[in-house]
Structure formats: C-alpha cells, structure tokens
Amino acid sequence: MITIAVDAMGGDGSPKKIIDGITHHFKNTNNVYYKIFGDKEKIEKFITKSLDNKFYEILHTKNLVKGTDTPLEAAKRGKDTSMWLAIESVKNKKADAVISAGNTGALLVISKLNLKMIENIDKPALSALWPNKKGMSVVLDLGANIECNDKNLIDFAIMGSSIFKSLYPNDKAKVALLNIGSEEIKGNDVIKETYQKLNQIQNEDFEFKGYIEGNNLMKGEVNVIVSDGFTGNIALKTAEGTANFITDELKKVFKDNFIGKISGLINYFNFKKFKKRLDPRLYNGAIFIGLDTPVIKSHGSTDYIGFSNSLSVCEKIVKGNLIDKIKKNIS
C-alpha cells in the first residue's frame, strides 16, 4: 500500500478540487492510502461514499499557506499549516510521497527545510512531463534554479533520466541539452562544458544525444530535456501559451460562420482528439527532484482531473523506486 500525504488546502477551489481529485483517482486504483491535511470541517463536506473510509484519514489543521505568501512568510506562518504537516509526514516516514497544489515557492522552501538532499546533489530541480510526437518527455529545470553550473546540469540529466525510467521502464532515456543551436560551438561556457562531460559519461540508463533547439522539443527524438531554470521556465510558459492559442483559434474558426460550424461538426471527433492531446490537465504533476523524498507540485489552477493525474504521478514514481534509481545513478 502506497501512502500519499495530501495538502488539501492549497490551490484554487480547494479543498473541493482536492477531494474530488482524490475520489476520481481512487476509482482507478486500490493500492493507495491518502493522508489528507487540512480543515476537517471543510474537507468532510466534499467526501462522498465513493471514497472508502478505509483508504483515507483526515489530519485536522485550520492553518494554511496562502497563495500570496512569500516563501519566507510561508515558513514563518507556523509548523501547523496543512502544507508543512503534509511534508513533515514524509520526513517522519509516515507517507511515501507528498503532493500540494499550493504556493510553489513555499512548497520548495518548506520541503528543503524538512527534507534532506540526496547525497552528491547540490540543487533540487523542478521537472514535469511534456507531450511529444512519440510519447512523453521529462523536462527540467522549470524554475527552481535561475543559475546553474555544469555539475548541476549533469545532475539534472541523471535525475531526469531516472524519472523517465521510473515512469516508462521499458523505454530508453535519451538526454539532450536545450540550447540556441545544435552545433558544438554554440551556447555559453556552462552549456559547452556540460556537453563535453556528458559525452564522456557511460550510463546504462540514458543515452546523451547532444543539443536540442526549442523548435524541436516536440519531435520526440529525445525524451529528457535539460536546462537551467530560467530558460526552462520560459520554454514551458511559451509552450503552454502556444497550445492555448492554437486551441482558441481553432474554436473561433469553427464558430465564426456557417461553413465553419459545418466543418466543426464534420471534424468534431478529430478536433476533440486534438484538444485532448493538448489538454494540460493530462500532464499535470511537476516533481521537485533531488530531495530524498518525492515532492509533487500540482498546478494551482487545475481542476480535479488535473489533480487526479498528479496523484497518478505520485503513485508511479513511488512504484518505480525513483529515489533509489537517482541514488544509484548519481553515485
């Protein structure tokens, strides 16, 4: 039985969204126990008979981290917030992973205050899944570290490959560095140094494929994409904005006039399939990687479907022994 500690009070629409997400996830698994942290009175309003009471418990606290809190304010708010208590439960080995849809900066800082780093790793990274033409890619860092040195990027490559192998054990991890060109001479000194060192690493869990440019991220030729947090976050926001722009423009085309509406009806199922492929809820669930316990960040504005998918990420990485894989590879 896998135990997941859940901060029920973080993110938009909580705790309803969180409880609905847990209920939806529970329908598709029988191997997870949920430790739910938050205001018991508010939480119980949204629990239905669909969620078997043998598979969850509520740990009451009225205090919570606000979305407007700075990381320092969140840390000072007290050790009785739902976020802090959820993280503390994995620290005390009472849960296998922790998840929150709350304040990202607060989650990172409180996690670092409570949890140890994996030995030989200097910085944690924020990683997430992106769709590509052939399946999925792991992308990191997405904003935890603005500046990185070559060792940090090599650590990210190893950790990203470990995530990919935990989620997709039958596939080979193919690593690339996000850069402004594919030629060896392009990029800053840190990127060039990382390139040279990764070329020399022999690792059975991943294959280094060199550089990748932003316009090739979705081709699927590589499935682990490494970057510093500044560049990675811009790439993430650009990709999300582009996907939303394309979907919105297609909706307009199919609604603008009579011919468009007819075309929309004819292509309804194709458009529905296309929209689902770009649905960010299906790829929700970023991982703070580098800590000795899995910490998963759900997008604060996602709905219960998105949160349910984040719980699935928790389940997969615990089953895939992610932390053990990183410890083995980083050594």
For residues 87-92, give the mean pLDDT.
95
- Is residue 140 within 8 Å of residue 176, measured between CB atoms? no
CA angle 198/203/207 to nearest 5° reads 65
Same fold, 1-120+290-323 and 122-288: yes
Domain residue extents for the chain: 1-120+290-323, 122-288
Question: What is the rounded average pLDDT for all residues in the chain?
Answer: 88
For residues 6-33, give the mean pLDDT.
94
For domain 122-288, the question of CATH label 3.40.50.1820 is answered with: no
pLDDT band of residue 203 (cuts 50, 70, 90) is confident
Query: Which residue did the predictor score with more confidence, 272 or 113?
Result: 113
pLDDT of residue 249: 79
> In this predicted structure, which of 86-95, 308-317, 319-328 has the lowest mean pLDDT?
319-328
- Is residue 139 within 8 Å of residue 235, measured between CB atoms? yes
pLDDT of residue 243: 77
Per-residue model confidence as pLDDT tens digits over 128-183:
888 888 888 999 988 888 889 999 999 999 999 988 988 888 888 999 999 998 88
Place of tokens 């054990």: 169
Per-residue model confidence as pLDDT tens digits over 277-297:
667 777 788 899 999 999 999
Query: Which residue did the predictor score with more confidence, 115 or 328?
Result: 115
Is the preceding omega at residue 15 within 30 degrees of 0, hence cis?
yes
For residues 228-256, give the mean pLDDT.
82
pLDDT band of residue 206 (cuts 50, 70, 90) is confident
Query: Does residue 322 register a pLDDT over 80?
Result: yes
Query: Does residue 98 register a pLDDT over 90?
Result: yes
* Helix-strand-coil split of the chain, %, nearest 5: 45, 20, 35
The tokens describing 260, both together, are 């468009």
Per-residue model confidence as pLDDT tens digits over 138-153:
999 888 888 899 999 9
> Which among 265, 264, 297, 235 is positioned nearest to 98, based on CA atoms?
297
pLDDT of residue 275: 67
For residues 16-31, give the mean pLDDT.
94
User: Could you tell me the fold of the domain covering 1-120+290-323?
Assistant: Isopropylmalate Dehydrogenase (3.40.718)
For residues 78-106, give the mean pLDDT.
94
State what percent of residues in the chain have pLDDT above 70: 95
Phi and psi torsions of 291, nearest 5°: -80, 160
Query: Does residue 328 register a pLDDT over 90?
Result: no
The Cα-based distances of 75 to 104, 206, 239, 241, 293 in angstroms read 12, 37, 32, 32, 19
pLDDT of residue 261: 72
